[in-house]
Amino acid sequence: MNRYYLWLIRWRKLRISACVFSLFFMFSLPLQANEIKLKQTNNQENISVCEAELKQKIDDILNQEKLQRSHWGILVKTLDDQTTLYELNAQKYFIPASNVKLLTTAAALIKFGANYQIKTPVYGSENYPNLSVLKVVGTGDPTLKSEQLETLAKQLRIKGIKRIDNLIVEDSSMDEQVINPTWEWEDIQFYYAPSVNRLILNENAVLLTLTPQELGEKLTINWSDPLAARQWDINNQTVTGEKDSDYSVSINRNFEKPLLTITGSLAINEEPDLLGMTVVNPGQYFLDSLEFYLEKEGISIIDSEVVSGNSEVDNLVKITEIRSESLQKIITKANQESNNLYAESLLNLLVDENSGKSAIDNLKATLNQLQLDADTYHLKDGSGLSRHNLVSPEVLVNLLTFMMRTPEREVYRQSLAVGGVNGTLKNRFQETIIEGKIQAKTGTLSGSSSLSGYMEPPNSSQLAFSIMVNQSDLPASELREIIDNILINLAHLKQC
């Protein structure tokens, strides 16, 4: 799915459920009032904040009555000499949401380097033109797209292959739980919480379109990929509503079988509703897609199957391999766009099957090389969707600081969204004095918001900061406005 479709999906899911509503704000535009406020602050050219005044200014922001029940954690330090400019509950645990991606991407970058590529090998027997076996071994590449399978099929046809007796795709994660058990159930039918397996195709997601018909008729349902669509059964209980009537479409999943029940109405004059759904069985989807492109090239398939485990390839020859984008591009998409699948795939790369240790154990061991104490944070996933993750502002500021001492510092820093420029910060900090001068990772779950990264104030040293709030009853837009207000004050910091 291209970025335009994903944006539309995020916009539409504002109206689906409270949980999806909270995640929408990770990507949505700031309130106009907030933009005006920041512009006004920026226009006050003579505004300045002395270091001695900073604590009181931030305290005043947080002492608003509407924030009294919220739990805030903040740490701000200078990058060069590690001077603490402000701290509040800096060593306390918080649910960090997508700020977890800072840890995951740092560990992957340290372990593998920016130029690393994930390789998906393709093996076959040598009895051309009819192969007894063609085998693709999944290694967890999140960047694989249908176009690459189509290219593979064309390459095999050029080699003269006309028939494959046994088409095998190996997904060693088949026997594992590829949906994190700590994720919320109402999330896992949607594209942002997909299965994370070893055979990933098109980000294990498919686009569902609901289109109004004549008044009182059911909405029509269309899928962007019929191979993925055939894994879902649909109970369509929708209706086309009157002109300008309220939107009320809701999607519910049956967890005993792949059944989606779609209810509610869409006004007759509304545009089609676009929804990103997860693929039910990604291994089978990969196999079905590969078989489709092979047959499209005139290569007949006698038998096909998905296998688990590490089956033998001793009697096979490596024909080719499909390479992912560079790790630098993968971590950039994970951080700038807050892509959960990419982050979880990076975590899976850290698994050492020979040691018997988990991916999270290996993540901690890798970051321990930076002197990041493994006992000071607790993770249950690599993306931040889990509410069981616990991280302190101090851990994140330490990580950000330590990463600036590594050879990969610029790659890591440039993987973050830039305020007013790109990613999940594109529409924040526009027309302020730190537009283009703040690089950070956002994080949003219902009741929680976070922002951690780097800032270059015009008249002060570079900063590393982490701001997190939990247990709030305010909408994400208001929490972001408060976080941005804190950072605007930091941006006006002067030594006086």
pLDDT tens-place string over residues 394-437: 999 999 999 999 999 999 999 999 999 999 999 999 999 999 99
Which pLDDT score, from 0 to 100, does residue 171 have? Answer: 93
Q: Are residues 428 and 289 in the same domain?
A: no
Q: Are residues 88 and 130 in the same domain?
A: no
Residue 91 lies in a domain: yes
Task: Give SS3 for 487.
Answer: helix
Those residues of the chain that have pLDDT short of 70 are 1-46, 174-177, 310-311
Q: Are residues 440 and 316 in the same domain?
A: no
- What gap in Å lies between CA 418 and CA 415, rounded to an integer? 9
Instruction: Give the torsion sign (CA, 305, 306, 307, 311).
Output: positive
Q: Are residues 455 and 378 in the same domain?
A: yes
Q: Are residues 386 and 332 in the same domain?
A: yes
Residue 19 lies in a domain: no
Indicate the pTM of the whole model: 0.89
Which pLDDT score, from 0 to 100, does residue 95 have? Answer: 98
Q: Are residues 356 and 465 in the same domain?
A: yes
Q: Which of 268, 292, 324 is the last residue of a domain?
A: 324
Element of type H or E holding 233: strand 233-241
Q: Which two tokens stand for residue 102?
A: 């800072």
Please, which residues have CB within 8 angstroms of residue 491's CB and are 6 or more apart in sequence? 432, 433, 434, 437, 455, 457, 458
Residue type, 436: G
Residue 89 lies in a domain: yes
CATH code: domain of residue 317: 3.50.80.20
Residue 412 lies in a domain: yes
- What gap in Å lies between CA 88 and CA 67, rounded to an integer? 14
* Count of structural domains, the chain: 2
Which pLDDT score, from 0 to 100, does residue 63 have? Answer: 95
Residue with tokens 């990058």: 79
CATH code: domain of residue 427: 3.40.710.10
Please, which residues have CB within 8 angstroms of residue 379's CB and are 6 or more apart in sequence? 100, 103, 360, 363, 386, 389, 391
Distance, C-alpha 389 to centroid of its chain: 16
Residue type, 261: T
Q: Are residues 355 and 446 in the same domain?
A: yes
Residue 296 lies in a domain: yes
- Which of 55, 57, 33, 62 is CA-nearest to residue 47? 57
Residue 56 lies in a domain: yes
Q: Which of 324, 345, 375 is the last residue of a domain?
A: 324
- Which of 374, 396, 415, 392 is CA-nearest to residue 463? 396
Which pLDDT score, from 0 to 100, does residue 3 have? Answer: 38
Query: Residue 310 belongs to what domain range?
Result: 119-176+282-324
Residue 243 lies in a domain: no
Q: Are residues 46 and 170 in the same domain?
A: no
Q: Are residues 93 and 105 in the same domain?
A: yes
Q: Are residues 346 and 456 in the same domain?
A: yes
Residue with tokens 């820093």: 413
Residue 161 lies in a domain: yes
Q: Are residues 345 and 287 in the same domain?
A: no
Q: Are residues 146 and 108 in the same domain?
A: no
- What gap in Å lies between CA 140 and CA 352, rounded to an integer? 14
- Which of 68, 60, 66 is CA-nearest to residue 86? 60
Q: Which of 266, 292, 324 is the last residue of a domain?
A: 324
Which pLDDT score, from 0 to 100, does residue 354 have? Answer: 72
- Tell me the DSSP string of 181-208: TTS-GGGTTBTTS----SS--GGGEEEE
